[in-house]
Amino acid sequence: MKRVPQRTCIACRVVRPKRSLVRVVRAPEGGVSVDETGKANGRGAYLCRSRLCWQRALGDRRRRSGGRLGAALNTTLSDQEWDTLWDYAQHLPDAVDGETDASEGQVEGVS
């Protein structure tokens, strides 16, 4: 039986199969972008395919740090990068199937 790689969403901290998450990468040249292939060179962070997780990870634009995502990638997001990622998130569903609000302390599959 083949092992399925697992990754943790940096926003809700739920462990999911790598393929079910979206990878955001900071390239060696310094740019931050969504990595659809999951194989781009650079430091990566994983997020659920949920608008709520993306909003949590990006944080408030006024802080300019990039929230949890900026911290995970060890960088500060530019306004353009933040806008691009925010726009990407707006096309995602509010929540992933079976997901509860992480602020309530609920974890998928645990009562």
**Does 16 reside within a domain?**
yes
Q: How far apart are the first and last CA of the chain?
A: 28
Q: What is the pLDDT of residues 39-65, one digit of tens each?
A: 999 999 999 999 999 999 998 876 667
Residue 16: which pLDDT band, with cuts at 50, 70 and 90? very high
Could you tell me which of 85, 21, 72, 4 has the C-alpha nearest to residue 44? 72
CATH of residue 85's domain is: 3.30.1230.10
**Does 62 reside within a domain?**
yes
Q: How many separate domains does the chain show? A: 1
**Does 58 reside within a domain?**
yes
**Does 1 reside within a domain?**
no
pTM for this entry: 0.83
Q: Which run of H or E residues covers position 26? A: strand 21-26
**Does 108 reside within a domain?**
no
Instruction: Give the structural domain span for 81.
Output: 6-93
Three-class DSSP category at 102: helix
Which residues are CB-contacts of 105 (< 8 A; sequence separation ≥ 6)? none
**Does 102 reside within a domain?**
no
Strand 15-17 to strand 6-8: parallel, antiparallel, or no bridges (unpaired)? antiparallel
Share of the chain above pLDDT 90, in %: 69
